[in-house]
Amino acid sequence: MGLDMYLGGCRFFVGSRKNEEGDTVSEERVELGYWRKHPNLHGFIIETFADGVDECQQISLSHDDLETIYNAVQDNKLPHTTGFFFGESDGSKDERDYDLKVLHRSIEWLLVNNSDEYRTVVYQASW
**pTM exceeds cut of 0.95:** no
pLDDT tens figures, 4-50: 999 999 999 988 788 899 999 999 999 999 999 999 999 999 999 99
Query: What is the distance between the alpha carbons of residues 37 and 90, in angstroms, rounded to a whole number?
Result: 9
pLDDT tens figures, 54-63: 999 999 999 9
- Give the start-end residues of each E strand in the chain: 4-18, 24-36, 59-61, 117-126
Which residues sit opposite 30 in a β-bridge? 9
- Cβ neighbours around 28 below 10 Å, total: 14
Query: What is the distance between the alpha carbons of residues 100 and 27, in angstroms, rounded to a whole number?
Result: 27
